[in-house]
Amino acid sequence: MTDASLPTGGAKPQSGSLTTVDARTKKRNAAEKRFRAYGVAAISTGILFLIVLLFSIVTSGIGAFQQTFITVPVYLDEAKLDKKGNRNIDDIKKVSTFGYNPLIQKAVLKSVQDAGIETPLTKSKQMKALISASAAGQVRAAVIDNPALIGQTVEFKFLASSRVDGYLKDRVKREHLARDKNIDAEHLDIVDGLQDAGVLAKTFNPAFIFGADASESRAEQAGIGVAMLGSLFMMFVVLFLALPLGVAASIYLEEFAPKNRLTDLIEVNISNLAAVPSIVFGILGLAVFIQFMHLPQSAPLVGGLVLTLMTLPTIIISTRASLKSVPPSIRDAALGVGASKMQSVFHHVLPLAAPGILTGTIIGLAQALGETAPLLLIGMVGYIASNAPDGIASGLLDPNSAMPAQIYEWAKRADPAYYERAWGGIIILLVFLISMNTLAVILRRRFERRW
């Protein structure tokens, strides 16, 4: 051995152990811990914001599922409703809702007096502020359906006015009555007395879920049910058009189309269409389907066609990704045993890609369900549909609204009761969206295969 084998300068070689953590390793481990802490903090912040959002939505909208009702016995005076006394339905129909209002107001005043409520409001017309404007129509419809009720005292359950309902929901404050021309402190005193007497109570309101929209003066009567049907018919149009077209286009582009500049251009444009703002599709639908093709404005059919155009790129992209995820060996094995190209695709590749296709389709439908801007441009907003569609043709072609458009319309109305209903509509819309996304996850887990 020579001196050349020793370290330069005569220094001894450094010795260490694998279990010894040097300063550089400590610094690296500390950086890793900080990164993990940042990740946990980011996730925790996101969950916190989600909880705050859900709490705000639920607390602001849960009141829409409850409504204040007032139960009073109404004497259906024959002298007012059937002056001839012959129970002729044509004569009874001639009595408008204005003829029923005095009977209802008189019944409410009698209920106030029977409850022993002391009030300076002694005229029946002064009870108008307590009940909904829909009460007269409710009684008139009952009389027309059963003329034998005339001359009897019948108990009705009326919607209270939006101000009375807001008072019980702590939305209307006594200190703000000076700026409210629709109700005053004496009416609120009556409300307290009727509530103690059990005549007036706040209960579950199924009409909000199954009913139709109402005019701005009848906020307490408004419901989202007919708009839900409008969204349902639109989703049917999107499903039956976007799914076959999107899957067929994806199969051709992924499995059969030659790789050239034309297909590259098509693929780039599909990706770009997926990022186009939805309001652009609304302008396209207005120009093509309404102004050029003269389809009925505000119809769910037109809304479904517009949403189909918007959803197609999403379905095509997700379907192509699902087809790519199928291993090439599946195709090679099918071709190796004598199957044609089409047989290998439709008998082997497509069934294996079905979970991803279903997932992409449901997510696309969920996205279309929540779109508002395209529907505004084709007029599916601000329309008050009084009755549910009576068939498939009526549901597709009759003017209607949709859930997101209905929520938008309620949010911009002046009455605070509509603001509460907008939050309630958001709750229903979120239930549908969460259900659709949950279904997508379940289907993917159910049919997914691993290689």
Task: Retrieve residue 405's tokens.
Answer: 């458009």
Return left, alpha or beta for 13; rule: phi > 0 is left, psi -120 to 50 is alpha, else beta.
beta
Nearest to 402 by CA among 160, 204, 158, 238: 238
Of the two residues 7 and 48, the one the predictor is more confident about is 48
* Alpha-helical regions (H) of 62-122: 78-81, 89-93, 97-114
Task: Retrieve residue 230's tokens.
Answer: 């409008």
pLDDT at 309: 93
pLDDT at 397 over 50: yes
Nearest to 387 by CA among 161, 205, 210, 136: 210
Task: Retrieve residue 248's tokens.
Answer: 């067929």
Spatial separation of the C-alpha atoms in residues 170 and 391, rounded to whole Å: 41
Phi, psi of 131, deg, nearest 5:
-115, 160
Task: Retrieve residue 386's tokens.
Answer: 């009084």
* 348 burial level (CB within 10 Å; 0-12, 13-18, 19+): middle
pLDDT at 1: 45
- 109-147 per-position pLDDT tens digit: 999 999 999 889 889 899 999 999 899 999 999 999 999
Task: Retrieve residue 341's tokens.
Answer: 């190209």
Report the largest interatomic distance among the alpha carbons of the chain, rounded to a whole angstrom: 136
Q: Which amino acid is at 234?
A: M
pLDDT band for 386, please (50, 70, 90 cuts).
Answer: low
Helix 225-251 to helix 300-325 angle (10° resolution) is 40
Non-local (6+) Cβ contacts of 14 within 8 A are: none
Output the pTM of the full model.
0.84
Task: Retrieve residue 46's tokens.
Answer: 């996101």
Lowest mean pLDDT among 43-47, 162-166, 438-442: 438-442
- 221-242 per-position pLDDT tens digit: 999 999 999 999 999 999 999 9
Q: Which residue has the tokens 């089409």?
A: 342
Residue 287 near residue 344 (C-beta atoms within 8 A): no
pLDDT at 90: 87
pLDDT band for 8, please (50, 70, 90 cuts).
Answer: low
- 170-229 per-position pLDDT tens digit: 888 888 887 778 888 999 999 999 999 999 999 999 999 998 888 888 889 999 999 999
Task: Retrieve residue 374's tokens.
Answer: 């395209």
pLDDT at 441: 83
- 239-282 per-position pLDDT tens digit: 999 999 999 999 999 999 888 889 889 989 998 988 888 899 99
Spatial separation of the C-alpha atoms in residues 322 and 254, rounded to whole Å: 10
Render 329-398 in DSSP notation, one character per residue.
Answer: HHHHHHHHTT--HHHHIIIIIHHHHHHHHHHHHHHHHHHHHT--HHHHHTT-SS----S--SSHHHHHHS
Spatial separation of the C-alpha atoms in residues 407 and 380, rounded to whole Å: 12
Mean of per-residue pLDDT scores for the chain: 88
C-alpha pair distances (Å), 321 with each of 216, 279, 314, 328:
48, 27, 11, 14
Spatial separation of the C-alpha atoms in residues 404 and 375, rounded to whole Å: 9
